[in-house]
Structure 1
Amino acid sequence: MLTLYTIKTCDTCRKAKKALESKGLPFQTHDLREDGLSASLLEHFLEHVPVLALVNKRSKTWRDLPAQAKENLDANSARELMLANPTLLKRPLLDTGEEIRIGFREGDYDNLHG
């Protein structure tokens, strides 16, 4: 089953959810703010995606980080920051069971099948 990792207040996440619903695909949602981010879940993402590709540098969470944390960002510090601030992850994240898709634009899910 597909899993869509979102934040309820994210417009792009809502669009991704509607796209899956319109295709009639079964999926579950996981709200990163409410349901959290465990170390094992983060490692699951990182099996498919480079760590720095997951960091959302356009988010309010990123902007609110101390300058030193942003300047010295590497794979280890990015892991720590994302675990402490799950809203720092780019979203939505779609786990198809075979891959992790980051973000959403119209048409991104057209090739998914139930």
Structure 2
Amino acid sequence: MSVTIYGIKTCDTVRKARAWLDGHGVAYRFHDFRAEGLERDRLAGWVKAVGWEVLLNKAGTTFRKLPEADRQDIDEPKAMALMLREPTVIKRPVLENGAAVSVGFKPGQYEALFPGS
């Protein structure tokens, strides 16, 4: 099963998630969506799997710095356009484990995703 973790390398939560994966011997590929971008189809798959409300990090600095018009009346199409334009508003990390998608990091969450690791 292929594991890919998406985020930005300077994010502390992404660092913690990567350290957990490394410490538990889970092989993965890291995709920095600030440097490598993010495809619309991949984002659409995440939205279908977990919902745009879970993916959009309204508490983050990037979101709070957006113009008021960008933060008002957000629906799925507006959220997707915003996340494609400003991928750092996506809650991190996003982990793909085969067809499963997980957002954020907590050790217990990863222990459930990778039992026995």
Which category describes the TM-score, using the shorter chain as reference length?
over 0.9
Q: Deviations over 1:13-63 (max 9, x none)?
A: 000001001110111010010111111111121221111211011212101
Q: Which amino acid aligns with 2:89?
A: L
Q: Deviations over 1:76-109 (max 9, x none)?
A: 1001101100111000011111311110122221
Distance in 2 of aligned mates of 1:46 and 1:97: 16
Aligned residues with identical type, % of pairs: 38
Distance in 2 of aligned mates of 1:99 and 1:47: 11
SS in 1 for 2:107: coil
Q: Does 1:50 align with 2:51?
A: yes
Q: Does 1:88 align with 2:73?
A: no
How do 1:1-114 and structure 2 match up within 5 A? 1-111=2-112, 112-113=114-115
> Which stretches in structure 2 are left out of the alignment for 5+ residues?
none
Greater fraction helix = 2
Aligned length in residues:
114
TM-score (norm 1): 0.93
- Runs of 4+ in structure 1 over 4 Å off: none
TM-score (norm 2): 0.91
> Which stretches in structure 1 are left out of the alignment for 5+ residues?
none
